[in-house]
């Protein structure tokens, strides 16, 4: 049952969401965006690349998820083929068990067990699902924040309530619903992965009642994924807001100017830029270009420095 839930219901949902995100990354590939580290303006990035961060993280964890083998126990009541061996002592039960479990069923037979399979691999599946869900939680909070920054607007639908009290609002409820469902799922997955591998001596029955609940976190996870898909489908890029943020933060190109000045062996470039930019709100294109003009460097270097803007200082990343 749990193998079916994980491999035939949950995994395809993860893969579909990853594909959707990859398409968004392609759509936003050339959109420059002000990065925020510690909540403060930082070296510009591109929106598509920031989406690709989540695509890569999901891809890595989904791959790990698929690597985890599905283990099985086949060895009689307490794992020693007691009844099998006493009834048919000439049969090679180890060989038979290995062939049946691994060749016929396609599972991994644990060679030394108690009355139950160890559940260690099942716990590994749950831990991997938690990691994937945590990535999705991170995605939800980032998209939620981008919406609050008005980098995204949301498509409205006739008859849909944007806010119960304030008609002008369209709340990011899909990402909030996903975050809540992920929280419930991960709390249960944490208990499953911590509890199931622990069984007194050769077996107790605490695993039985717990195993009945595997479908619950899977269901909450699938609901969360559907909410994320719905939320992503409603996003409308607000390029004007992204552009305005970049235009208002010319100080972020100080890193670029400093680095080129170091290349040119200019004395104390960090200190020169810090004096210009740190703790000041009024750094503009004009004030920055005035500073560049005052530098004792060649005209060619000055021209190079003046070509740098918050919109084109976005670096390079791998192809996607």
Q: What is the pTM of this model?
A: 0.90
In degrees to the nearest 10, what's the CA dihedral of 201, 205, 209, 212?
70
Q: pLDDT class for 21, splitting at 50, 70, 90?
A: very high
Q: Are 142 and 268 contained in the same domain?
A: no
Give the pLDDT band (50/70/90) at residue 293: very high
Instruction: Look at residue 197 and tell me if it is in a domain.
Output: yes
Q: What radius of gyration do the chain's Cα atoms show? A: 28
Residue 166 sits in the same domain as residue 17: yes
Residues 150 and 231 in one domain: yes
Average pLDDT over residues 26-46: 97
258, part of any domain: yes
Helix (H) or strand (E) holding 199: none
Question: Given this model, what pLDDT does residue 277 score?
Answer: 64
Q: Which of 38, 164, 168, 208 is catalytic?
A: 38
Comparing 89-93, 107-111, 263-267, 271-275, the range with the smallest average pLDDT is 271-275
173 and 294 in a single domain? The answer is: no
Q: Is 85 exposed, middle or buried (0-12, 13-18, 19+ CB in 10 A)?
A: middle
Report pLDDT digits (tens) over 146-200. 999 999 999 976 655 555 555 556 899 999 999 999 999 999 999 999 999 999 9
CATH number for the domain harbouring residue 279: 1.10.40.30
Angle at the Cα of 64 from the Cα atoms of 62 and 220, rounded to 5 degrees:
45
Domain ends where: 197, 221, 239? 239
Catalytic residue among 66, 148, 163, 233: 163
Q: Are 156 and 127 in contact (CB under 8 A)?
A: no
Number of domains in the chain: 2
pLDDT in tens, 113-149: 999 999 999 999 999 999 999 999 999 999 999 999 9
Is 38 one of the catalytic residues?
yes
Residues 272 and 204 in one domain: no
**What CATH code is carried by the domain that includes residue 170?**
1.20.200.10
CA-to-CA dists, residue 76 to 1, 79, 250, 258, angstroms: 21, 5, 72, 71
> Would you say residue 11 lies in a domain?
yes
54 and 131 inside one domain? yes
- Which of the two residues, 290 and 158, has the higher pLDDT score? 290
**Is 125 a known active-site residue?**
no
Q: What is the domain range of residue 215?
A: 2-73+113-239
pLDDT tens figures, 223-276: 999 999 999 999 999 999 999 999 999 989 988 999 999 999 999 888 877 777
């Amino acid at each position: 049952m749990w193998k079916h839930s994980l491999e035939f219901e949950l995994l395809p949902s993860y893969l579909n969401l990853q594909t959707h995100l990859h398409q968004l990354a392609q759509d936003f590939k050339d959109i420059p965006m002000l990065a925020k580290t510690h909540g403060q303006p930082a070296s510009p990035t591109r929106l598509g690349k920031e989406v690709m961060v989540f695509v890569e993280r999901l891809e890595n964890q989904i791959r790990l998820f698929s690597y985890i083998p599905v283990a099985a126990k086949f060895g009689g009541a307490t794992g020693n083929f007691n009844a099998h061996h006493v009834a048919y002592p000439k049969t090679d039960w180890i060989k038979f068990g290995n062939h049946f479990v691994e060749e016929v069923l396609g599972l991994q037979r644990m060679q030394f067990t108690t009355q139950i399979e160890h559940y260690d691999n099942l716990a590994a599946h749950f831990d991997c699902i938690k990691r994937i869900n945590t990535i999705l939680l991170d995605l939800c909070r980032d998209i939620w924040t981008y919406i609050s920054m008005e980098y995204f607007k949301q498509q409205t639908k006739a008859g849909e309530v944007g806010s119960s009290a304030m008609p002008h609002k369209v709340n990011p409820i899909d990402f909030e619903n996903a975050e809540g469902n992920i929280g419930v799922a991960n709390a249960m997955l944490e208990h499953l992965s911590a509890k199931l591998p622990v069984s007194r001596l050769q077996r107790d029955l605490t695993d039985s009642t717990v195993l009945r609940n595997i479908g619950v976190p899977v269901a909450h996870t699938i609901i969360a994924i559907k909410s994320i898909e719905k939320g992503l489908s409603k996003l409308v890029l607000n390029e004007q807001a992204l552009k305005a943020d970049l235009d208002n933060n010319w100080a972020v190109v100080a890193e670029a100017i400093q680095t080129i000045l170091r290349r040119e062996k200019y004395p104390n470039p960090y200190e020169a830029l810090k004096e210009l930019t740190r703790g000041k709100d009024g750094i503009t294109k004009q004030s920055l270009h005035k500073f560049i003009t005052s530098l004792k460097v060649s005209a060619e270097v000055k021209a190079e420095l003046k070509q740098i803007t918050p919109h084109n200082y976005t670096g390079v990343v791998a192809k996607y």
